[in-house]
Amino acid sequence: MRRFRDLLKPDPGSSPKDEQERASNGLADAVAGSNLRWWKKGETVLTEGKGLLLAVAPYSQYDLTLLDLLDESLGSEHSPAVRVYVFNLLDYDSFEQLGPDFPGLAEAHQTPLASLWESGSAVKVASGKQARDLAAEALGLPADDLQRRIVAETPESRNGIESELTTHCTRTTPEDGQ
């Protein structure tokens, strides 16, 4: 199922801005109809068990493809015992507001943001490719396979920005650590 990727499905009568607003407005409903959970701004930190918190950019085909693949994994017979919470990064006004949910993350140049919580404490925090790798680890998936699927299954963008991100997301350079 392509529940999340369809949020940015091109509509001949709309602009990219309209599509991005539609994706942003529809993200919570898409999460509600999935195996993922919606995180509300200001909610208390995960206090029991293991949980993964993801801040996604609803305008990113890569983030939406990641959510589809995580949803698929959580819906399988061998679903891991981890709860995956999602929120719209655009619901926060500043990076500082993210601090309690992503402790120790000084800056983020790419989405998603991820924090893995166990028994009320953040044990790992990451952004960009490292966040996707952390999501794979939390769900017991091979990180390289997840990354390959994200790149292969992400729809082409109408404005070319996604193509630039594909190159950036799949290479590692000492300067950016991505």
Number of domains, the chain: 1
**For residue 93, what are its two tokens?**
């006004």
pLDDT of residue 174: 37
Q: What angle, 0 to 180 degrees and rounded to 10, lies between the N-to-C axes of helices 161-169 and 61-74?
A: 60
Region 90-100: what's the mean pLDDT? 88
What residues make up the domain containing 34? 5-169
pLDDT of residue 153: 93
Contact 83, 46 (CB under 8 A): yes
**Cis link prior to 155 (omega < 30° from 0)?**
no
Instruction: Give the HSE-up count for residue 81: Cα atoms under 13 Å, Cβ half-sphere.
Output: 4
93-96 contacts at long range (C-beta below 8 A, 24 or more positions apart): none
Q: Rounded to whole angstroms, how far apart are CA atoms 127 and 61? A: 16
pLDDT of residue 25: 94
User: Mind listing the pLDDT tens digit for each residue in 7-25?
Assistant: 988 888 888 889 889 999 9
Region 153-174: what's the mean pLDDT? 47
- Radius of gyration over every alpha carbon of the chain, rounded to an integer in angstroms: 15
- Rounded to the nearest 10°, the torsion over CA 164, 168, 174, 176 is 80
pLDDT of residue 170: 36
- For the cut 70, the answer to whether the pLDDT of residue 61 exceeds it is yes
CATH of the domain at 65: 3.40.30.10
In a domain, 104, yes or no: yes
pTM of this structure: 0.83
In a domain, 175, yes or no: no
